[in-house]
Every structure is written in structure tokens, then in C-alpha cells.
Amino acid sequence: MRINYKHLLVVASAAVMTFVACDKDDDKPVIRTATSVTDLAADTAAATGQGAKAPRYFTFATQTLSATGTDSSKWDISFTSTYNGNVTASNGKIALVDTAFDALTTAPADTAFKYATVGIDGFGQTGWYVYNMTTHIVSPKANRTIVLRTAAGKYAKLQMISLYKGNPAAPTLQTPVPYLTFKYFVQANGSRNLTTIQ
Amino acid sequence: MCLNRYFITILLCAAFSSLSAQKDTTQQPHDLEEVVVTATRTDNLSSKVPVPVTVISRKIIDQMGSRRLDEVLREQTGLALVADASGAGHGSGLQLQGFDPAYTMIMIDGQPLIGRTSGKLDLSRITVADIERIEIIKGASSCLYGSDALAGVVNIITRKPLSSTSYSAGLRYGTYNTLDATLEGGLPFNHNKGHISLSGNYYRTDGFNANPDAQQANTVLPYNSYTLQARAGYLLNSRNRLNFSARWAHLQQSNDYGYTQGITTSDKTSEKDLNIMATLENRLRDSSQLKTQYYLTRYGTNEEISNKGTGVALEDNFFTQYMNRLELQYNKQLYTSLMFTGGVGGTLESLEATRYTEKRNMESIFAYVQGDWKVGEKIGVLGGLRYDRNNIYGDQLSPKLAVRYTPNEMINFKASVGRGFKAPDFRQSYLSFTNAQVGYTVLGTEEFGAGLQQLQDAGEIVSVLPAASRIRSLSPERSTSYNAGFTLTPTRKVKIEANVFRNDVTDLINTITVAEKTNGWQVYSYVNVSKARMQGVEVNASWQLLRGLTLSGGYQLLYAKNRDVTDSIKAGQGAYASITDNSGHTRTSRESDYYGIENRSRHMGNLRLFYEYKPWGLNASVRANYRGKYGYSDTNGNLFIDDYDRFVKGYTLLNASVGKTFLNNRLAVQLAVDNITGHMDAFIPNLAGRVYNAGITWKFVKQ
């Protein structure tokens, strides 16, 4: 069997960097991989035809999704509206950067945090997913990354991947929704450095 | 139970037909021989018709082991059977010369089938039982058939009566529990002055799931379908003949799915299709012919959506469409070289459906003339003109001119230019729909004023945009189609056909935003705004390698482009002027970035080998069908398909069949395998995996 040395090298260096990479800011080893959340059931109880969904609140540190969000210091992002697809940060400010998730290395300037909530793109709005009026299928915009600050004020980047159960390649109208699949990275040291390793 | 009732009906028909019945297949023309076609509304040899016509004979249909119309058409050059990958609508519609299914008219014996979902007529609902041949006319044919014959026409010709009693019974069974049973019979009476024939078909399938990751339901749902067809004719006297035909098809489909945890939704659809045709043919004293035809068709669906557990009804949708048509056609041979055809008629259509405010009617009258002039042996000229007047979209003139030049026996040139149109559909005129999941509203142009006022009165409108002033009654979508090609027959055993086509489409109907709603969404309506161009080349060749062994192949090259996109890219501004690559870098779009309209393959082709050994009654076929890659959806947000978007990979389907006849051709058995490699793709919901099926047919003809 031919060994793909190039591939091995990449894997090996990624592993090394994951464990020992040093952050320029404070020289402590940090974990630089994103956290993935798969098929998190949001408000699946409401029939799809009945419009808006009951909101859900997600906390990065505990990876928990809750139906109550009265204390905005307890959650980092909320999922509201159609298919629970509208994302809001606890401080009400979101930036959208047209860069692939892993290619985004730095949080943008404060002025970029100009969206209160991001959901649909088009129809006069800017957001993370496109809605096809013929097929009624929601799909994420490629290379668009959400940047926000957590309840504790840390910079974080977020990529919404799917609202459909199982994140199928070709979801249909009958695919169960909303099941949230996304990945995120929180820069724990408070800097704007959002570099991650795949 | 409904199923049983229909089954009994079929049995009764069967009993009746065996008593008398009959039918036989006439001698099928050989692949390379001449066939008679009705592409010009009068019988004509295919080589004398100056427009591109493809004929699929009964023999080919039988050899392929096909059961439904989509199975036959998907193996023809340049045709693709397309489905909604979203599951928004089921079934397979026909894409011809790059046009969406809405732009091709599907007819049985020259009269249109109705009942389209989002413009698509589901061809899997049509059985191939009782079909003599299928003619596919490419290029705008509105000059003969009016609206919808913009890309072309598929005309299903049913079997002609025979002069002796015959009957047949056929049964096929295969993968996915697919059962197809046909009983047919025909009987002449009163010294062959009259005939009657009946055909009953039952089809059922479990369906299949091409996209198991995405859903709990199948992409092709389980369904069963009954089709009953009856025809009768009587020669009243030496000059007058009366014909009558009727077709009734009933399809039932069910689907259980779960949007939400623990709740299963049951969705039951019943679809009924009725066609009745009565024709009086008179041969007048001067040997001209007059045909008076009345056609009635009704298509209706009922959909019941309920909670499967509790039985509580959630939604009840219906759709009922009627069409009545009376038509007179007159043919006269003027001199020896000029055949004149003229016709007048009127059509009444109505539609009632859940999403429309009330029952809607459409009325139209039409008249057409056609001259088929054979200028000596070598040249033929065909000219036609049709006028349609409609209460909604007004007047339409559809001319067509075609020429044929046959310098010698080896080569035959054909060229034609014609205008086609497609009336705005009921949806575009009368829809009044608010999407409950999302919140936008779509108003048909005729509903626009009242609908918008209603929203304003309800306080749901923030602002009405200037674009609202553009909303008026829609005009038809129009196209000019050009076809030019040749047929080369260097020897009796080889035939090569080539055709270059271009269709310039204007006034395509598209949605525009006309108002902003308080919920942050928009109100949409329709305008005649877009342009498109479909062009390409089609080549077909067949070669009789040995006695009984024929190799044939076909290829289509297609460029299908929305000209709004190409114009915007050329101008460097507008909605399509920028493109984002995979690394998120945005730049100005180039013309070469635009791959073409979604769901169009640039390359399609087929290769087939048919073998027949008559002494043993043996036949076999191996067929390969290639469909090249095509754009599926825009993912980088510039609303056109480019290299950074999602494509469906090209694929080849391999099909084979082997059959043998026994007892003087009375008994035929066949084994067929479709999609031998079992290729499936989540993005192709109507493509089944490997399908085996075996069939047996018994025919009886009274000598």
C-alpha cells in the first residue's frame, strides 16, 4: 500500500498543534479545535405549518439548550423564529464574515457587529441561510461565518450547518426539523484571535 | 374497499373482452424503415415531414419491458425525466431541448392531457398499455396545437382497430413489489363496419427511497393506479365514420411522515383523470375530409392530511380542472402537390382548487391553416399559421415555416422556424397564497388588486413598492425556435440524423417583490420579464450490424441559459455580477462562470443494442443512458449556477432485457433489468436502484 506522506504529515502536525500549540497572547497551551453540536432538537413539538417556533437558548460552556432564557447572562445564543433558525447573541450584536469557518482567524472590528439577529439571507435581509421559494428548502450560505461575543464577553465564531435532522445532503420538505447542527469556537482568553485547526 | 371495487371492474372488463375481444400488433416497422407520423396533423411519411420527429414503436416499448411512459421517454436522446428533489411535488416530468416540463404538450391521439403540478405533468401516471407508438415532435409546434406546445409535443397514439377478434393478457412483476397487469381485447362487428376495444391496466408499487438520509418517507411514494380505456368506431356509410374513445385513470398514493417527534402525519392523495373523445370523420364528395371532434377532460386530486395517531384532520386540499374542446379540421388535396389543412375550434377550461379564491374559467377560440406543398420530388415546403384568442391573455399568432430538400436518396435536409407560446398558468393569474411557515405572500396578477387591498386593510403592509405598478394581466411566454439538420442514409443499413436547434424565449414569467409586510417579509406577484436561450445539437445514428442486430446511439449537446444572467454578467452589474469562490473571495462574474440553468445536463447520450432472432422468437437488448453533470442549486448566493455551486454528478444507467415468444408468438416471456449498476443519488429522487422485472403475455388473434 502506498502511504500518503503528505496526508500523514498534515494529520500529525494537526495533532501536535492541537495539544501543544501556544497562543501568542499568553504563551499557554490552548485547545484550538471547534466544538461541534449535532442534531440538537429545538422546538420540534410545534407543527411546521404553524409559523414561529418557541425560542431556545444555548450555552457554549455547558453545551446545553434550554427553553427558558429570562436571564441573558446564562446563555450565549438564542434560536428563534422559523425552524428556530434565527440566531441572536445575548448582547444583541452579531457580525457576519464572508470567510470559511476555519479560514476566519480574527474577530472583525466592532463596527461589523451590526446585526441584531441573523436568519434568512435575501428577501431584503442578510443572514446565514438561503430559502428557495420553489423547493422551500433552507440551506446555509457557503463561506459565511457568524461572529459574536458570549454572555461573558468572549469572542466566538459560529457556523450554522443544518436545521434538518441528520444533516442530510439533500433535505426535503419531509425531513424532520428543527434539529440544529452547528460548530463554534470561543476564544477563552478574551482576545480577537479566532484561529482554529480543522 | 375501493381497491376491490376497481379490481372487480377490471375483471368484468376482462371477462367481457375475452368473450369477444381482440387486438394484435400490426407488423412493426423496422428501425431503419419508414414510419407514418401525424406530426403535421395528417398522416405523412416521417422522411417527408420537415420537422424533427422521433417515433418510438410498440415493438421497442415491448423490448424495453417498460410499464409507464416515463420509463420509455427517459431512454430517448435529449429527453430527461426530472423531479423535484425537495419532495415538494412527486413524479417525473419531461425536459425537452432544455425546457422545463411545463413547456411540452403531452397528448393522447392529438388531444392534450391536463393536470399539472407546478407545471409538471407526471408521466409515471400514464401506462404504456394500449399504446401503438409515441411521436415526439421537437421545436415550437404552437402553429398546430396552440398554447403549451412551446418546446415540442409528445403525442401518444393508441392502438388502431383490427379486422379480427383478438385479446391479450399480460402480467409483470418486479423489484419494489411492482406489479403491472394488463387485459386488452378488441372485436370487430357487423362485417367489420364497427369495432370495439377495451383495455384495463392495474399498476402498483411500493415506491423506493433514493434519499434515505433525508426523510422517513420514500422519494417515490407507494401508489396504485387503475387505467381503463375503451374505444369504439362505426362506419356509418362509405363516407362517414364515427369514433369514440374514453380513458379513466385513478391513482391512489399514501405517505406517512413525521415532522415532529412522536407524531406521524398521514397524507393520502387520490388522483382521477378522465378523457373522452368523440370524432366524426366525413369524406366529402370532392374527396376532401372533414373531422369534427369533441374532447372533454377532467383532472382532479384530493389530498387528506391527518394526524395518523389521533385521526384528526389537519388539511384537506383539492384541485379540479376541466377542459372542453370542440374542433373542426378540414383536409383537402389541392392539385396533386398541395395538401391544405384548416381548422377552427373553441376551448372552455375551468379550475377550482384550495389555493384559489373561487372557481376560475378560461375561454379561447382558435383557427389554423397549414399548407404542405411538395415541390416536385426533391423539395417540400410546409407553412402554417394559427390564431388563438383567449379571454385572459388576448390574441396570439403562431406561424411556422419548414422546408425539406432531398437531392438524392442518400440525404435529406430539413429546416424549420416556428413560434411557440405558453399561456400564463392559473397559478400565475389566480394564486392567493401566504406561506404559513415563512410568512411571505404570493398573489396572482388577477388577484393582485383585491389581495393587496385586503392585506392593507388588515394592516399587514408597511409599504407598496413602485414595482407594484408593473402588475397587469400576464402575456403568454413566447419562443422562436429554429431547427436545421439532415438525415443521411449512405446504405440501407446505416442512418445518421443530426439537428441543430436554438430556442429564443422571451416574456418568461417571473416573480417580483411588490410590497413589504409588517412581519419583515414580502408580497410577490408575477410579471413577464425574463429571457432564456436553449441551444444545442442532437445526433442520432443507427446501424444494422447483422440481420436482426441493430446498434444505435444518440447524443445531445445543450446550452440552456437564462439571458437575464448572461446580460447582467456582460454588463458587469445587476443581480448576477459577482461571484464568491470556495475560499470566500468575491470577484466580478465572467460569462464563462455561468454553467447554465439548473437541472440541465450539457451532455446526454445513449447507446443501444437490439437483437432479434426470428426463427427462435428470441429478442434481447442492452442499453446505456448517460446523463452528464448538472447544476443542482446555488450555494454561494449569486443566484446562478457556477463552479462553486452544488452539482449532481454525471452517471450512466445500464439496462438489459431478454425475451422469447412461444406458440406462434402467442405467448411471450421477458426478463428485464434496469439500472444494472444500481446507481442511486440523494439528489435524484425519481431514480430507482436496480430493478428486476419479469413479464408474461398471452395474445390471441382469431384467424
User: Does B546 lie at the interface with A, CB-CB under 8 angstroms?
Assistant: no
Sorted by where each starts, the structural domains of chain B and their CATH numbers stand as 2-701 (2.40.170.20)
Q: What is the average pLDDT across B84-96?
A: 75
Alpha-carbon torsion (B487, B490, B495, B498), positive or negative: negative
- Residue B62 gets the label, from left (phi > 0), alpha (psi -120 to 50) or beta, of alpha
Q: Please, which pLDDT band fits residue B23 given cuts at 50, 70 and 90?
A: very low
Among the ranges given (A13-27, B152-166, B258-272, B385-399), the one the predictor scored with the smallest mean pLDDT: A13-27
B289 touches chain A (CB under 8 A): no
CB contact under 8 A, A174 and B634: no
In angstroms, rounded to a whole number, what is the distance separating the alpha carbons of residues B376 and B405? 10
SS3 of B252, please? Answer: strand
With contacts defined as CB-CB under 8 Å, which chain A residues touch B644? 142
**Cβ-based contacts of A50 with chain B (< 8 Å):** 436
Task: List CB contacts of B609: < 8 A, sequence separation 6 or more.
Answer: B549, B550, B551, B621, B622, B623
Range of the domain at A148: 32-186
Partner residue facing B439 (CB), from A51, A141, A142: A51
Q: Chain B: nearest CA to A153, how far in angstroms?
A: 27
What total of structural domains would you count in chain A?
A: 1
Q: CB–CB of B520 and A135 under 8 A?
A: no
How many CA atoms does the CB half-sphere of B357 hold within 13 Å?
13
pLDDT at B160 over 90: no
Smallest Cα distance from B542 to chain A, Å: 39
Report pLDDT for B477.
Answer: 95
Of A50, A123, A164, which has the smallest distance from its Cβ to B436's Cβ? A50
Out of B23-37, B81-95, B503-517, least confident range:
B23-37
Beta bridge partners of residue B379, listed in sequence order:
B375, B405
Can you tell me the mean pLDDT for B14-35? 40
**Which residues of chain B does A171 touch, with a Cβ-Cβ cutoff of 8 Å?**
214-215
Residues of B in contact with A108 (CB under 8 A): none
Mean pLDDT (chain B, rounded): 88
CA distance B83 to chain A (A): 11
| pLDDT-above-90 percentage for chain B | 65
The answer to whether the CB atoms of B211 and A130 lie below 8 A apart is: no
Q: Shortest CB distance from A103 goes to which of B216, B516, B583?
A: B583
CB contact under 8 A, A169 and B213: yes
Task: Write down the pLDDT at residue B653.
Answer: 97
Report CB contact under 8 Å: B583, A143. Answer: yes
The C-alpha of B541 sits at a distance from chain A's nearest C-alpha, in angstroms, of 37
The most confident of A59-73, A125-139, B490-504, by mean pLDDT: B490-504
Domain annotation covers residue A25? no
pLDDT at residue B71 in the model: 93
Sort out which chain B residues have CB atoms less than 8 A from A124's CB and list them: 513, 516, 520, 522
- Strand partners for B182: B170, B201
**Which among A189, A182, A184 is positioned nearest to A154, based on CA atoms?**
A189
Radius of gyration of chain B measured on its C-alpha atoms: 26
Cβ within 8 Å, pair A135-B88? yes
For residue B365, the SS3 value is strand
Average pLDDT over residues B130-150: 91
Asked whether B578 and B589 are in contact (CB, 8 A), the reply is yes
Higher-pLDDT residue of A1, B544 = B544
Residue B681's closest chain A neighbor by CA? A170
Burial class (CB in 10 A: 0-12, 13-18, 19+), A30: middle
HSE value, Cβ hemisphere, 13 Å, CA-based, for A132: 25
A107: in domain: yes
If one compares A11 and B401, the residue with the highest pLDDT of the two is B401
The answer to whether residue A103 is domain-embedded is yes
- Across B243-272, average pLDDT: 86
Is A15 part of any domain?
no
Flag whether A45 is in a domain.
Answer: yes
Yes or no, beta carbons of A143 and B216 under 8 Å apart? no
The answer as to whether A145 is a domain residue is yes
| Top mean-pLDDT range of A77-91, B507-521, B600-614 | B600-614
CA distance B258 to chain A (A): 6
B267 contacts in A (CB within 8 Å)?
none
List the single residue in A47, A100, A141 with the smallest CB-CB distance to B260: A47
- CB contacts under 8 A, B 224-243 vs A, are none
From chain B residues 343-402, the ones with a CB under 8 A of any chain A CB are none
Domain annotation covers residue A116: yes
Instruction: Express the helix, strand and coil content of chain B in percent, nearest 5 each.
Output: 10, 55, 30
The ipTM, to two decimals, is 0.73
The pLDDT, as a whole number, for residue A30 is 60
Tell me, yes or no, whether A14 lies in a domain: no
B682 vs A44, A134, A169: nearest CB:
A169
Asked whether the beta carbons of B383 and B401 are under 8 A apart, the reply is: yes
What is the band of A1 on the pLDDT scale with cuts at 50, 70, 90?
Answer: very low
C-alpha–C-alpha distance, residues A140 and B361, integer Å: 42
Which of A45, A99, A142 lies closest to B635 in CB terms?
Answer: A142
pLDDT band at B476; cut points 50, 70, 90: very high
- pLDDT at position A46: 60
C-alpha cell at position B300? 382532479
* Interface list for chain A against chain B, based on CB atoms closer than 8 Å: 41, 44-51, 82-83, 98-100, 103, 121-125, 130-137, 139, 141-143, 164, 166, 168-177
Which residues of chain A lie closer than 8 angstroms to B685, CB-CB?
Answer: 172
Interface contact flag, A141 B635, Cβ < 8 Å: yes
pLDDT higher at B264 or B457: B457
**pLDDT in the model for residue B234:** 94
β partners of residue B120: B117
- Mark yes or no for CB contact A142/B436 under 8 Å: no
Interface of B with A in 643-672 (CB under 8 A): 644
Checking if the pLDDT of A94 tops 80, the result is: yes
